[in-house]
A and B are shown apart, each in its own frame.
Chain A
Amino acid sequence: MRRSTAAVAIGAVLALAGCATDEPTAVASGTASQAAGSGTGAQSKFFVQADYDKELALLGATPTGTAGKPWEQVLEPNMVQTAKFKKPGPHKICFSNAGLNNPWRQVGFKTMQAEVETHGRQIKQFVHVDAEGKDQKQIADINDLLGKGCDALIVSPNTTATLTPAVEAACAKGLPVIVFDRGVDSTCPVTFINPIGGYGFGHVAADFISKRMKPGGKVLALRILPGVDVLETRWSAAKVAFDKAGVDVIGVEFTDGDPAKTKKIVNDYIQRYGTIDGVWMDAGAVAVAAVEAFVDAGRPVPPINGEDQLDFLKMWKDKNLTAIAPTYPTYQWRTPIIAALRVLNGEPVSSPWKLPQPTITQDNLAEYLDADMPPLHYAVCGCTDLPGYPQRWK
């Protein structure tokens, strides 16, 4: 008797509480194809030949859109209709950010905030939630934002695969979702904004280095961390380029982005191999430390790549390096705001929205080098016309 009462009570509680789930419908993830790898070890599981081919083709494509405003330009546009999201303003725009834990994201976020300011009264509120680099937190954050009456949701996912379910849950609420930087394994967002991508970055650098050195020369590859998708694609493209050029990759080392560790590694490689003919890196954070290691050892600096951080560009000019700086431009942080407002106005946007990805070479180095900006500022920020420049970025 008592037991049945309890059962009824529990049933009633469950019914009252509303047994619910936030689980979105699952989709199949992208398949990875295998590409041949040789001297540089096995190819990454994440290497997708089709994506690689597409990115390399995009490197040569001409963008459409306003000249001089690359953050509004599109490579190979594919317009989609957004009339169903049209809404009268002013709007509340919410942003779930993977993190602000490195200078690239800092510069990017400042650029985004400045972009929000330029739209004045069109945006009544801009909500930003920082996931501090944690997948688990970002899933909770997105869920949390769904209860806040956002008109549009911008997501910069911490990890592609693991954030997919949360983004799909957001789409299911009927909210226009805009994803940028890293993508998700889903077609539900209105658009996905990013520059050409990691394959393009890795390829441009590796191609430059292998062409500037003797055939069969020795290259040291310096990577930040294993297991970060954006960086994995850069390395996998470089690997293809080095294998094709018959370059001898003498080492692939992880630096954790620590300049002291980088210097020690480069020093030991110089001692072990006598000469090194090229240095490839998957990100510019420790490029200056790598160059210093050669300088301190009294050796000429071999062809090297960095990124568009000003400390590297300055050293490039001062030491007259043979260098190249492919970029992953921070101006892409402006585009999601622009896209969100277009979508809320019912204007068509391109999906995916591929932004141009400039490369800094000897010829255009002077254009980007601004000695007044801090050493870790990213030159290709597209922020010089924004309110608060340059003070906001200093």
Chain B
Amino acid sequence: MSTALTLPARRAAPGVFIALALTLAVGWLVVTIDGGQLFSQPTTVSLLHVAAGLGLVAVGQTVVIIGGSLDLSVAYVVSLSTLVAAEAMAGSNAGLLPGVGLALGVSAAIGFLNGMLVTKARINAFIATVGVGLLLKGYLDNGYDGPAGRTAPVLVQSLGYQRIGPVPVSFLLLLAVAAAIWVVLTRTRFGHHLIAVGGDPQVARLSGVRNDRVLIAAHVLCSLCAGLAGIYLASRLGSGAPRVGTEGLYDLESIAAVVLGGTALAGGSGGVAGTVGGVLLLASIDAILNQLEVDAFVKQVIRGVIIIAAVAVYARRALRKAGS
């Protein structure tokens, strides 16, 4: 963590895309030899659907991580958002806008709470968001004994299952959200401030950045993305599901995707393009191992090794750059 402070911001985004291309090439070869088909339409659609869910969460996670914070409550926000959306819609198309609005509103409020705890109450983000996660877990455990509500049919038809060729609408939504956040991070004052706060909070404060406001906004943005992921999942599942976020391990997997994409956990550097690459990489590995019918436990070991190895490679490159 200490190294990032002394190193210049680095551009690791292309690295993950090279890794992605290599993975797909090798994967395609192995799957073909195995007698399967990696790029068949159903497989590609499935891969992009999985990427869309995780991607929405990970893009939001990127924002807080760049700001030097972290959000471990996202898995619960995702679950809650599916329920709020599906229950408000109650299976009618008329409930679509109120449902989406309410889900996003609730998510934003949780993000605001996270931000306040991290900035005003000065609780470390790790503990603050684990704590908020526990609050939400209790609410979900207590209030729901299974799926509830019913997503508006029009949303199921569009966001949940509609696709253009092999590309699901949900993946286009991810690309749109990622593009919007890319603009926010690179072209707005908020983005520059966020990177400054993540890089060195003291310096940022001294140069007139209102650190607290920036971080609160980042947390709201992160929760909104998780809320959006929840709305997508509600459209996919047809109802709200109280355990979908935790089952999907969206908290740890989103952080893994962000880090794979070259964003440093210490904050101050990175971007959403890399994160989308990281998500695609994780989803591709999953799809390839799925085609090969590799045991889920082996998959987990492979995932662990890849995450560590990727970050080690980034660190090596950063060191070399710093040295030259």
Contact = CB atoms under 8 A, between A and B. Distances in A.
Contact of B238 (A26, A145, A146): A26
Contacts of B53: 136
Contact of B164 (A17, A128, A132, A147): A17
Contacts of B244: 134-136, 162
Interface in B39-92: 40-43, 45-47, 49-50, 53
Contact of A229 (B41, B142, B146, B164): B146
Interface stretch (B4-12, B97-105, B153-161, B271-279): B153-161
Given A161-B239, A254-B141, A146 B156 contact: no
Contacts of A19: 162-164
Interface in A182-216: none
Nearest to B54: A136
Nearest to A45: B145
Contacts of A14: 164
Q: What secondary structure prevails in chain A residues at the interface with B?
A: mixed
B147 A162 contact: yes
B144 A136 contact: no
Interface in B127-174: 140-142, 144-148, 150, 153, 156-157, 160-167
Nearest to A147: B42
Interface in B161-213: 161-167
A132 B298 CA distance: 12
Interface string A100-131: 11000000000000000000000000011110
Contacts of A226: 141-142, 144-145
A4 interface: no
B296 interface: yes
A389 interface: no
Contacts of B45: 22, 140, 143
Interface residues of B, number: 46
B259 interface: no
Interface string A131-155: 0111111011101111110000000
A165 B43 contact: no
B141 A147 contact: no
A391 B54 CA distance: 40
Contacts of B156: 23, 26, 165
Interface residues of A, number: 50
B165 A135 contact: no
A127 to B, nearest CB: 7
A94 to B, nearest CB: 11
B49 A159 contact: no
A147 B291 CA distance: 12
B14 interface: no
A22 B247 contact: no
Contacts of A129: 290, 293
Given A45-B146, A135-B237, A22 B161 contact: yes
B46 A227 contact: no
Contacts of B40: 147
Contact of B242 (A141, A147, A165, A227): A227
A72 interface: no
A143 B42 CA distance: 6
Contacts of A68: none
Nearest to B48: A140
A144 B238 contact: no
A159 B46 contact: no
Contacts of A21: 157, 161-163
B290 A144 contact: yes
A86 to B, nearest CB: 26
Nearest to A139: B236
A140 B50 contact: yes
B248 interface: yes
B293 A128 contact: yes
A21 B43 CA distance: 15
Contacts of A144: 42-43, 46, 290
Given A45-B146, A147-B40, A227-B243, A23 B290 contact: no
A158 B243 CA distance: 11
A18 interface: yes
B233 interface: yes
A66 interface: no
B20 interface: no
A23 B160 contact: yes
A165 B145 CA distance: 20
Given A22-B161, A23-B162, A162-B241, A140 B147 contact: no
Given A23-B156, A135-B241, A136-B237, 4 more contacts: A26-B156, A130-B296, A229-B146, A232-B146
Interface of A: 14, 16-24, 26, 29, 44-46, 99-101, 127-130, 132-137, 139-141, 143-148, 158-162, 164-165, 226-229, 232, 254
Top 7 nearest A-B pairs (CB, nearest first) are A17-B165, A147-B42, A23-B161, A140-B46, A162-B237, A161-B147, A144-B46
